[in-house]
Each structure stands twice: as C-alpha cells, then as structure tokens.
Structure 1
Amino acid sequence: MAPDYLSGPLAPVPDEIDAHDLEVTGALPPELTGRYFRNGPNPRPGEDPGHWFGGHGMLHGIRLRDGRAEWYRNRWVRTSRFTDDAPLIGEKGLDLAATQANTHVIRHNDRILALIEVGLPYEVTPELETVGPCDFGGKLTTGMTAHPKQDPVTGDLLFFGYGFFPPYVTFHRLSAQGELVESREIEVPGATMMHDFAITENYLVWLDLPMTFDLTRGMSMPYAWDENYGARIGLTPRAGGVTRWFDVDPCYVFHVGNAWEDEKGRVVLNAARYSESVFTGLWAWMGGADDPAQRAAAASSATLHRWTLDPATGRLGEEALDDRNVEFPTYNDALTGRASRYLYTVGDHGIVKYDQRSGAASELKTGGHTGEAVFVAAEGATGEDHGWLLSVVTSGEASELLVADARDLTQVASVRLPRRVPAGFHGSWMED
C-alpha cells in the first residue's frame, strides 16, 4: 500500500504533457491575459521520498488570453537533485543547488523562479523549461525562502534564508531591478524550520518556532517538534537595529496572512496557527505514519489567529479569530505590509473569505479538493477585493482552474484541465 502522501489527492502524475484549446465553462474575464503557474511535489514513478515535502518540484501552467484558455502544460523542475540525484548535504558539504524546488513559483524583474526554502531558486522560462539555479551573480550564499515579500512601494523583494548551521537566519533584499543589495544575519538560538515571515512598513516579522533540525532524525525530513526550544515572534527594524522578541504560546505557522502597523504603532500579524497536538500529528502523517490519532490530526488544520505586538511597551496580545480549519491565506498583494481588510483561505469545503474589519466570513463550496486561491486585481479596480480568485480544484480524476469573483465568491468561469493535478502548494498569476 502506498503511503498517504503518494495516494488520493496527493498521488503524483507519471509524466509531462501539453494540451491546447482547453474547454471553458462560463466566461473568463478578458483582462486575465497571462499565465497561472502552480508548484508542488511530484516524485517520479517508483520513487518514494519518505515525506510529502520531499518530492521533485512539478510546475503546472495554464495560459489564458482574451477569454480563452490556450494551453496547459506540466514540467518537472530539472534541479541537480532531479537530474543527477545530487544530495543536499554530501561528502563535500552543503550543495544549495541540490534541491527539489517544489514549493512556490514567483516572478520578479521578469525572472521566473521556482522556490524551496532549503536551497537556491531555479529559474524557468514562461514555457516552464528549466534554465538553472540562480544565485544573483554569486551574491546569494544561503537558501531562499519560498515566501518572499515584495514591497508594494519600492518594488524590492524581501526574503531570508535559513541554514542548518550558523548563521541560522539571514535576511536579504533584492532590488526592483533584481540585484541582491543587502544581506544581514538575524540572530536566533538554533536551526528551525522557518517557513514564512512577514513585513510591515518599518519591520521584518520573524516566526522562531519549535520545529528544530537534527540530522540524527534522518535525511528525508530531519525536523521535529522540540518542546524545549520555545516559541517567539521577532520584530527587526527594516532600517537596521536590534530584534525585539516576544514569547508566544507554543505553536507552529506555515503561512502568514499579512502584517501591518496600526494607529498606535503596534504590529498586527494574522496567520494560520497550528496547536502542538494538531501539528505533530499532521507532521507524522505527512511522513507516512498511519494511526487513528494522526489521521484525525491530518483531518484538522490550522485556525486563523492574530498576534498584536507593541515594540514600545513589549506587550503582546494573542487571539483566535475563528475556529474553522483553514490554510493557505492570501490577500491583495498591493497591500503587503499595510493594513488589509480581506483575507482568502482554503477551508474544508472550499474557499473562505474573511472580512477582518467586521469579523464576518463567507464561503464558496467547490465540491472538490481546493488549492490556494490566488488574488488577481481587476483592471481599474475600485476596491481592495475588486478582482478574481484563481484556484485549482480536483474531484477524483478531474481538475479545473476555477475563477471566482473575489467580492462575493461567485464562480464566473472554469477551465477544464486535461489531467488530474495533484494537491500542491503555491502558485502565482503572471500577467503579460
């Protein structure tokens, strides 16, 4: 029997295909002219990576133009791990190019990058062919988080790399022109799985949480919950200075929603928060463990949570915003680091939209396994939520690219895809 991470919605596809002139139901907004790319792990036939996160990265792309869906194609990212079975940590030490590149795909300064947090990004073409690893002219000497943040004012791309050995966390800033112009260490006590972070107008927001690295746990996924590590959130001035740390209740966070500074100068951070019991059970299930408790944890998820951090007084506030299972929070990226009202998440039955001003929530039930909902602003948008949500939805062996109106969550169109797309991680809309 195949483990759950190779079965059902997570089951990999065996090959690469191309298809043209895809069937569209409803009406695609003509302004959606560009490409939707999504990344996720997809081992080759016969491979078992030992953990859901260990599969080779596969990109799925859909080309939209003038109300038509011109093509679908999928391609493995041809990293040295994929082509040569190169180890990330070998006899010669750390090889930052030997990764799976399986977590996210973004575009910055017309360069398309497939990302994974433990190594270098891999550049790909608009047709999803692999160009190769990218170290920005030799300046990037750490991994690159799969969740960089683009400042909507400066156009700079802010990101970090975490390491297995000191320095454990390094902050980087890429200019709007694609040049690595700043790198500085962020001091933390040990190596942890720091998956995401946030920015505000004046701060970098760090999540230093108790998922620690230890090679004695084996190379397939050497992270585990460490109750002795503690849990804290840090604020580092973007202009430079000392990080202020705030102890928080033990938890784990894969994905933040957004962060901003309120009228009192406090930092507000929203994120999908896991309790220790849910996360440890889910983590074991992702690695193939199979018992009733772990299956129950896998059926649970994170819940929407808020921290309010006051750098002036050192005071911290924590509150649960909802009790439903949600993940993959997204928002209008034009408000990254600034106060935002709407948040889109994936729930048990589809897409959940939160109005963070009123506390109201609404839901679009999709009838299938729903992927991250990527927000695309409408042409001439008149409000924060005036735009479209793009999500890959899979039911059995059929997948579609769903397009919904972000204001009221009504479905406006669906593109029938030529094959089942396995459940994956993150994607981006890349306008022409």
Structure 2
Amino acid sequence: MADDAAASRRIETGELTPLNEMNPYLQGLYEPVAKETTALDLPVIGELPKDLYGAFVRNGPNPAQAPAGLHHWFDGDGMVHAIHFENGKAEYRNRYVGTDDYRAEQAGFAIQAGGVLAPSARSNPASGRGDLVYKDTANTDLVFHNGSLMALWYISGKPVRVNARTLETIGNETFGGALPRHVSAHGKVDPKTGEFCFFDYSLYEPWMSFGVVSADNQLTNFQKVDLPGPRLPHDMGLTENYIILHDLPVVFTDAGLRNAMWQIKVADQPARFGVVPKTGTGDQVRWFETDTCYIYHVANCWEDGDEVVMTACMMTPNGFPPNPAYGPYASMVNVLALNAVPVEWRMNMVTGQVKKRQLDDRVGEFPVVNLDYTGRKANWSYHVAMAPQELQRFSGLIKYDLNTGAAKTHDFALGVGGSEPAFAPRIGAVDEDDGYVIVFTTDEATGQSEVQVIAAKDFEAGPVARIPLPARVPAGFHGTWAPGDQIVA
C-alpha cells in the first residue's frame, strides 16, 4: 500500500519519474487530478438560462496512479466530468469509470496489461486476457442511451454503464448477455427509434462487425464483416436506414503485427466507406472507394435521394517534424498534433460514385451536432479549433453551416484550452440551433476551470453564463448531452 500512496502523491504534487518528465501529456493542461469532487449550487457569472435542463458530461484519461514506464495520453483511467443544469442552477461532479481493470488495480491486483507503448498482452497468452490485449479504460466517449450513459473505449472494450446524474458506475453492459464481444468508442443513438448502433473490430484479424441495440436495451442485430486485412477504424456513420463503416489505410506495420506492438503506417490503398442497412447482414455491405485519408470523427450523416451523405473531419499532414526534445514521446506528440478539415462525401447508391467536397480549410476536430438530428439532415456542426502547435490544444469553437461551409467562431482567452462541446436543445426548442453550446475550459497558467454556456443562435457574442469550478478539468476526449427529462434516477 505504501507504493500506492506514493503513486497518488505523485499525481497530486506533479512529481514524475525522470522518464515521464519528458512527457508533456502528463503536465499542464493534461495533468491528471487526484480527487473526485461533488459541488452543488455553483456560483454563476452572468445568468444561467432556466430553459437549460440536463447534464453535459465529458470523458477523458486520468491515471489513478502516476505511471512509472512509458505512458501514452490515451492510456489513462477513464474519468467523467459533468455539469448538471436545472432551474437556473448548476452542480459539478467528477468520477472514475469503474472498469474491471480500474477496480482490480484499486484493489491491489496486477492486471497483466499495459498501454499502447508497451507490448500487448497478445505476446503473452498466459495473461488470460483473451482479446482485451491492452488495459481497458473506457476513457474515450460517452453515449446516452436508455436513460444512462455508456463509457466506451477506442480500441474496443467492455461498455460500462454510468448514472448520468451521480456519475456512479452501474456496471458492465452486455445487453442482456447477448453482446458477442466488445463495443468501440463511437457508437450512435438514433433519436427517432432510440436504437444504439455500434461497431467492433479486431486489432490482429481481418474483420469488423456492427450491431444494433433497441431502445429497451435488447441486441436486435449483430453482423461480422470480412476485410482484406486487420484495420484500425475509429468512428462510424449512421443515417435513418444505414450504418456507414470505415476501412481506412492507417494499419499496423508488419513488425507491429509480428511483435504485438502499436506500430502503425499509412498504407498505399484507398479509403473505403461501407454502407449497410441497419437490419442487414455482413455480406450486404456496399463499399465505396475514395482518396487515401484517415478520419477520426464523423459530424453527421443522412440520406438525400439516391445519395448517402457523410460529413467528417479529414486528416491532413500536420507539418510538424518529430521534436527530439520530447525524447521517447516525440512520435506520440507528432501523431497527436491533429490537422483535419471538414469534408462532405456523397455516396450514390445507384451509380456507385463518390463525390467529395471540402467545406473549409480551417483546422478543427471533435465535431458535434444537435443529437436530435443524428442520422437526419443537419444544417449545423460545432467543432473545436485546433491551436497551431505541437501539443493538442483546443483554442476555440467553430460553428459550421454544413450547406455552405460558412463559419462563425468563438475563441477562448489566451492560454486557455477547451474541450469537445455539446449542444443542448432549449426546453421548447422550435428549430435545430435553438439551444446552447456548452464547453469546459481550463486556464493553463492558473489551473482554473469553468463551464461556458453559449447561445447557439448568437454564437459570436460569447457566453451568456460562465460557471467557475472548484476543481481543475484536465484536457480530455469526448462528451455528450443527457436531457434532464430522460435521465433515469
């Protein structure tokens, strides 16, 4: 237990091993917090709208113990931060996600799995972990479905149910024991049917899969899709009738596959989008080839006549060479310097043709829409603006008109980093952008975090309310909006 106490102190005081003194993603905006906090009836600068009811929740990596070995930012234990709004008041909570691996480590057990900078457990079959070959952290995304949250992991892991009000872990989700394997990070919920649509993939085998879960949490379809080789997809698309799968040319190197190490390359092959009916089978996927590219995150998809439309952030070279000042973390820092632009692809289901249109040349990522328009024609998308620097910093927000590419911006103050936002429809909303954009921000110099609430229709006017928080919110990954009247107590 002495070692555990020392590890906790290292997180709380910022003390790191010499190896991790070179790791920028354990310091500054990215430094983990040591405590879980509950704060009620928070002070407000400005005025909180009384027609804002629900919770803005955001996931991210937060190692419970300071790492001794090489540590990738993506490897921290999942921690959820939430701001709950009701009757013009706000309350804040943060809690760790109680994955099997987190609970085992907290109990003092060795889990026989590390992060992506270490050899995977595949190189040690005696670990007994099967296809959970890295530490499963559920630190990537949050999806609100059937009255509660699911915390999800980007490599495909066990989904973990979390109470959307208290953030307490409910337990692993298996959809009544019917889930065949795992769920990857970026599933989608159909707002009309309440269905949760997801995908899964194998790191080392040539297949992926897709599934559909009903509004009452029953698995209604699960299909395996054969691929030319192992793939590393990150997101998927959803329309009213279709799921859109990604077969992209970022793959493991031969040495990475041979040595069970996270070593990747861009292969000389086209990107492919696989369109399949939600109720379809694996052999019904229709593949559309387009230019070589990688996509981390989809904004939205919909059907337009004979075409299936997908808007997403397309990665382009970031222009930064690996910086030797980061030592063994130079490659990680370089890959994390996201450089993406908004692009629309139209896949014609009659002719088989793909049309591609770049909407803007500004660099941004982590797109979100009004979730009531998921899978249907949406006019607006809200992205984070990426600061032109090596470290991944969100320097502001961009509101895009998805029809024209026209944009409005909201810049954070100098030295402040933000998070992926969420759109919260106003109670009684009458159209798509009738509501609020909500975001966590943190001042790197002072460590002060706050929540900003922005009226979407008056986006450039800045926040109508700011809520200083009693705890720092480190930079993290994805969030979502949970409507207050749908949260199950």
TM-score norm. by structure 2 comes to 0.80
Q: Distance in 2 between matches of 1:296 and 1:143?
A: 29
Task: Render the CA deviation track for 1:90-127: whole Å, top value 9, x for unaligned.
Answer: 52242659510101122211232211132111122331
- Within the candidate set 347, 350, 353, 2:385 is matched to 347
Q: Distance in 1 between matches of 2:329 and 2:335?
A: 11
**Unaligned 5+ runs, structure 1:** none
Q: Which residue does the alignment assign to 1:148?
A: 187
1:235: how far off?
Answer: 1.2
Q: Which residue does the alignment assign to 2:434?
A: 386
Task: Render the CA deviation track for 1:74-94: whole Å, top value 9, x for unaligned.
Answer: 211122222324246452242
1:109 aligns with 2:146: yes
1:59 aligns with 2:80: yes
Q: Which residue does the alignment assign to 1:212?
A: 251
Letter in 2 for 1:52: W
Task: Render the CA deviation track for 1:111-146: whole Å, top value 9, x for unaligned.
Answer: 322111321111223312223222122211222122
1:287: how far off?
Answer: 11
- Within the candidate set 370, 381, 385, 2:418 is matched to 370
1:29 aligns with 2:29: no
Q: Is the 8 A contact 1:167 1:185 kept in 2?
A: no
1:377: how far off?
Answer: 1.0
Q: Which residue does the alignment assign to 1:422?
A: 474
Letter in 2 for 1:22: L
Worse-matched range after superposition: 138-147 or 213-222: 213-222
RMSD over equivalenced CA pairs, Å: 2.8
Task: Render the CA deviation track for 1:306-346: whole Å, top value 9, x for unaligned.
Answer: 11111211111122211111011111111111111111111
Q: What does 1:83-122 align with in structure 2 at a 5 Å threshold?
A: 83-84=103-104, 85-87=110-112, 89=121, 90-91=125-126, 92-94=128-130, 96=132, 99-117=136-154, 118-122=156-160
Q: Is the 8 A contact 2:310 2:346 kept in 1?
A: yes
1:184: how far off?
Answer: 0.8
1:412 aligns with 2:477: no
Letter in 2 for 1:232: R
Worse-matched range after superposition: 13-22 or 310-319: 13-22
Q: Distance in 2 between matches of 1:393 and 1:288?
A: 29
Q: Distance in 1 between matches of 2:160 and 2:400?
A: 34
For residues 421 and 2 of structure 1, do their structure 2 counterparts lie closer, same or farther at Cα, with a shift above 3 Å needed?
farther
Q: Is the 8 A contact 1:115 1:146 kept in 2?
A: yes
Q: Is the 8 A contact 2:452 2:466 kept in 1?
A: yes
Q: Distance in 1 between matches of 2:268 and 2:87?
A: 55
Q: Distance in 1 between matches of 2:230 and 2:131?
A: 17
- Within the candidate set 332, 350, 354, 1:316 is matched to 354
Letter in 1 for 2:80: L
Name the SS of the counterpart of 1:278 in structure 2.
coil
- Within the candidate set 213, 226, 233, 2:273 is matched to 233
Letter in 2 for 1:408: D
Q: Distance in 2 between matches of 1:305 and 1:280?
A: 22
**Which protein has the bigger helix share?**
2
Q: Is the 8 A contact 2:101 2:111 kept in 1?
A: yes
**Unaligned 5+ runs, structure 2:** 1-20, 105-109, 114-120, 387-394, 485-489
Name the SS of the counterpart of 1:407 in structure 2.
helix
Q: Which residue does the alignment assign to 2:372?
A: 334
Q: Which residue does the alignment assign to 1:184?
A: 223
1:196: how far off?
Answer: 0.7
1:190: how far off?
Answer: 2.4
Q: Is the 8 A contact 1:52 1:286 kept in 2?
A: no
Q: Which residue does the alignment assign to 2:307?
A: 266
Name the SS of the counterpart of 2:95 in structure 1.
strand
Q: Is the 8 A contact 1:260 1:268 kept in 2?
A: yes
Q: Which residue does the alignment assign to 1:196?
A: 235
Q: Is the 8 A contact 1:80 1:86 kept in 2?
A: no
Q: Which residue does the alignment assign to 2:38?
A: 18
For residues 254 and 284 of structure 1, do their structure 2 counterparts lie closer, same or farther at Cα, with a shift above 3 Å needed?
farther
For residues 283 and 154 of structure 1, do their structure 2 counterparts lie closer, same or farther at Cα, with a shift above 3 Å needed?
farther
Q: How many residue pairs align between the two structures?
A: 427
Q: Is the 8 A contact 2:436 2:455 kept in 1?
A: yes
**Which protein has the bigger strand share?**
1
For residues 283 and 95 of structure 1, do their structure 2 counterparts lie closer, same or farther at Cα, with a shift above 3 Å needed?
farther
TM-score norm. by structure 1 comes to 0.90
1:208: how far off?
Answer: 0.8
Q: What does 1:75-90 align with in structure 2 at a 5 Å threshold?
A: 75-84=95-104, 85-87=110-112, 89=121, 90=125
For residues 250 and 281 of structure 1, do their structure 2 counterparts lie closer, same or farther at Cα, with a shift above 3 Å needed?
farther
Q: What does 1:289-328 align with in structure 2 at a 5 Å threshold?
A: 289-290=329-330, 299=337, 301-328=339-366
Q: Distance in 2 between matches of 1:145 and 1:182?
A: 16
Q: Distance in 2 between matches of 1:429 and 1:155?
A: 15
1:199: how far off?
Answer: 1.3
Letter in 2 for 1:94: G
Worse-matched range after superposition: 208-217 or 137-146: 208-217
Q: Is the 8 A contact 2:255 2:263 kept in 1?
A: no
